[in-house]
Chains A and B, each alone.
Chain A
Amino acid sequence: MKFISIYFVLLVSLSVSAQTNDNDSTSLLVNDSLTIKIAPPTSVIVEDYKYDDADNLQLHWVPSIDDMPQDGKVVRYRIYQSTNNGSFVLVDSVNFSVNMKKIEGLAIDSTYQFMVSAVSKNYEAKSNKTITIQTEREWINFNLASLFLIALLITSAVIYFIETARRGKELFVRKIAGLEAVDEAIGRATEMGRPILFIPGIHDMDDVQTLAAITILGKVARQVADYDTKIRMPVARSLVMTAARETIKTAYQTAGRPDAYNDDMVNYITDEQFGYVAAVDGIMVREKPATIFLLGAFFAESLILAETGNSVGAIQIAGTARPAQLPFFIAACDFTLIGEELFAASAYLSGEPKMLGSLKGQDVGKAIAMGVIIVGVISITLGEAYGIEFFSNITSSIQSFFTVNK
């Protein structure tokens, strides 16, 4: 009986097991019928990414034939990477319809191989492996060749005119009204016995506009020291505070009045844009400066500062290289240094020949720009209006030369 019962138990368990297997195979069959099979991507090509520091490769492929913009079966592509002939690991994935990927963060001394798979909701079709490749390092970015040529030409012109000026040749520089007014503005503050307020914008020392403002400050501070006028300079960046203090201190020492210098002439307010504006507006309203310099990088605060300065009756000299802020300064200030005039200011105020020479070099760049614009306008007009191929070629040559693909 015992054996019979064991036999029945075994029989029952085997039948249950068989049923379960049957169920599994059914489920497999069902899954297999629901599988969204897709074709893999083809022609997977890997090549060196040009003009980098040997840390990138460019991968591109022909998308799977099941990758359609509408009702396509491919949901994404997966990118597998093998380093130094090791096993393939998933490194990235991109959406369907994408057919290229920049592979970043690679090392120059390793070899790489790639594989791309198309993925549907429940299926993955892998491509063939690419060739084995190493990253390469190029010395010169030839995409920037035209820019390099222009930079070289203008740099050479600047250096040439600096040398010409050094040899003693007189250079003509046109009068800049805003800079001619600096003396008058400082004199006015001296006569009225009221302070001068110098605002160097809200950017740090890594902005060339702030540097330009600090260089102008050097010239202004020298005159301030000579006239014994009071200067106040609230700043929005700590490094600007340090640089400005050093500049004013040197100006006072050069003027022979080091004792009149005080660190509190320059003080830090806050990095926050409108917090700084509130503080500077407060200073303007309370201290009523006779002269205000607004030189440097300005944004939305430009008009708030300039209008408050205007309301207290100060003579205002502004300058920025932010084209969007220039109309505000022109509307609210007495003199405005427009763009390049801000950068020319220190050379103009110093009157040193080698500084003025750099301005003449800049003019060469302007002459080139003007020449190219005139040729471009004529060639595009004649090319479009009369269909003359020669002029169309000139237009396209100019466009391709001045288009930079970094």
Chain B
Amino acid sequence: MRREIPLIITTIAGLVFAISYFIPHWPFVEAESIFGDWIAIVQAFAIWLGALNLIKVSLEKIYRKKEDAFYSGIIIVCLLVTLGIGFYDGFSGGAQSSFRDTGTTFDWLYRFIYTPLTSTMFAMLAFFVASASYRAFRARNFEATLLLIAGFFVMGGRVPLFDLALKPFTDVPYFSEFAGWIMAYPLTAGMTAIMIGIALGIMSSSLRIILGIERSHIGGA
């Protein structure tokens, strides 16, 4: 029964969502809405599950004095401080205010600590794009050479410098037009093919799950 009940729920939920897409009629629409509410409730409780796991893993590292116990300490302190400030701001402002309101301490934490940290991580992408491009554009084989040539024209077409270099010879912006052609035709064709494959893959995968053939996600063999 440990496997059968989740399988039955999966099948029913999957069928209800699929049918309600084509049949907008009672009871499918109502059932879809109920399942949606269930998902929200389960996810809300699962957040605590995750938070408790994070605290447990971090405390264990501190207790066992592991190499990176220092970072675990920072996690615990940050978690408790953020939680504490959030609760304080939420309760002290009365019923009309929220801990997310502009000007609260929680808002300050968000704007001046969380956002810069996030931006820092995101900024690393610029350096990684450079190193990944270097590897991808090395003309090791035919495909990589093709990529290099396409990349050269697309990048060249995106900046005015290349068209400007052609200005003494012609007024036609060949670089930007060729870049536009690459983006509009070969790229769109390739992307569409991938999208069709993905849609069919999702369909086939969903069918396997709904029919109970695929069970790995519920711990089935």
Contacts and interface: CB of A to CB of B under 8 A. Distances in A.
Interface in B90-138: 114, 117-118, 121-122, 124-125, 128-129, 131-133, 135-136
A343 B206 CA distance: 9
Interface string B166-191: 00000000000000000000000001
Given A139-B25, A338-B194, A154 B203 contact: yes
Contacts of B191: 323
B39 interface: yes
B136 A250 contact: no
B161 interface: no
A274 B115 CA distance: 10
A48 interface: no
A268 interface: yes
B131 A218 contact: no
B42 interface: yes
A389 to B, nearest CB: 27
Interface residues of A, number: 86
A346 B22 contact: no
B49 A242 contact: yes
Contacts of A208: 202, 205-206
A231 interface: no
A307 B132 CA distance: 7
A366 B200 contact: yes
B219 A137 contact: no
| Interface residue SS majority, chain A | helix
A241 B23 CA distance: 34
Contacts of B22: 140-141, 144, 147-148
Given A155-B207, A277-B121, A342 B201 contact: yes
A12 interface: no
B165 interface: no
Contacts of A321: 198, 201-202
A274 B219 contact: no
Given A51-B24, A247-B216, A362 B203 contact: yes
B78 to A, nearest CB: 10
Given A139-B25, A274-B118, A278-B121, A247 B217 contact: yes
Nearest to B213: A354
A358 B198 contact: no
A189 B102 CA distance: 49
A211 B10 CA distance: 12
B204 A138 contact: no
B209 interface: yes
25 contacts: A53-B25, A151-B203, A162-B211, A211-B205, A211-B217, A218-B216, A241-B49, A241-B53, A243-B219, A268-B49, A268-B51, A268-B54, A272-B114, A286-B68, A303-B129, A303-B132, A308-B128, A321-B202, A323-B198, A331-B133, A339-B198, A346-B208, A347-B214, A359-B204, A366-B200
